[in-house]
Structure 1
């Protein structure tokens, strides 16, 4: 919610007149939450930082918000080994490490993002009771279909919506494997 230039950046005094708070608030970069996030009790979120691995607070952990505060959020863990545990997520000063930004700044924000859905890659390593898989195109990376289908703990918890190459709903999914990958294996 708050921005400030890093004091280690020797040119911060010159930049504060060029980069207005409105400009800084508009910057979006990977791994850093947006300047403004709308939250309410009951919304599912995903953690964007490793906070405390022993408590299950790792990058990618899914949580549901149970109480909101100005500097801390109370949430219940939805994934991983600590499912059901109640935890606290503090607001943190986060500094983007993107090479595309020619200056350093800090954003004071909760290290979370609202998460009603996730990519197959982000779901890797999680066990979920319900999985809805939307496949608008064929899965093209070896192993991705397996990862997507193996996240769910039971067959009853799996729903798939797949489209063919013409954009019509289908009941078939291709698992594309490039045999060249296996040529030099012993």
Structure 2
């Protein structure tokens, strides 16, 4: 869903689009070239979408927001989750301006090998943790699935007026409602630890 939103907005964003491709080969142990080549073809590697690794194809425009996907250099504020805005799209580098953290306003050059960034008009709830935003559009076309996720999403925005929520669900009784997933066991365990009652149980 996040990828679809980002692609939709990028298509409407002004400017020329530049496409970068990731490294699509792997290091091979001597004597195993034939086996590895057969198992990990270029076409297969280009389809992988794994955790905090960038996609095979990265499409950007000058002025669009991006997010850092892993810790590059914590001493200059380049940490996992840092949001930045694209200033220059070169052949062998990308220049960005930092938008969050302790180094807001700094301009940084990302060297070309495999850019650890992703387009970030929209982001997942998990990736939004730690962000403080003036305006948030929350797309809830499906139920959140984990303890505390709804709270995390709603608490990213600094004012109630800056929050917009899109809800689409199959609840006939109240189509404008969304479940707040809470694992009661977490609160029970926390309470027991605080009271020193680990071995006791109650209703």
Report the secondary structure of 2:59's partner residue.
coil
Higher relative contact order by CA 8 Å / sep ≥ 6: 1 or 2? 1
Range 30-39 or range 135-144, more displaced:
135-144
**Contact 1:161–1:169 (8 Å) recurs in 2:** no
Post-superposition shift, 1:16? 6.5
User: Given the two structures, how large is their TM-score scaled by the length of structure 2?
Assistant: 0.69
User: Given the two structures, how large is their TM-score scaled by the length of structure 1?
Assistant: 0.74
Seen in structure 2, the aligned counterparts of structure 1 residues 72 and 10 have a Cα distance that, compared at 3 Å, is: same
Would you tell me which structure has more strand in proportion to its own residues?
1
Match of 2:34 in 1: 14
Match of 1:77 in 2: 98
Match of 2:68 in 1: 47
Structure exhibiting the larger radius of gyration computed from Cα positions: 2
Match of 2:141 in 1: 136
Match of 1:61 among 82, 86, 111: 82
Which stretches of structure 1, 4 residues or more, deviate above 4 A after TM superposition? none
Match of 2:56 among 25, 35, 39: 35
1:119 aligns with 2:140: no
List alignment gaps of at least 5 residues for structure 1.
93-108
Aligned-pair RMSD on alpha carbons?
2.6
List alignment gaps of at least 5 residues for structure 2.
1-21, 196-203
Range 176-185 or range 63-72, more displaced:
176-185
Would you tell me which structure has more helix in proportion to its own residues?
2
CA distance in 2, matches of 1:143, 1:17: 44
Seen in structure 2, the aligned counterparts of structure 1 residues 169 and 30 have a Cα distance that, compared at 3 Å, is: same
**Contact 1:91–1:111 (8 Å) recurs in 2:** no
1:3 aligns with 2:28: no
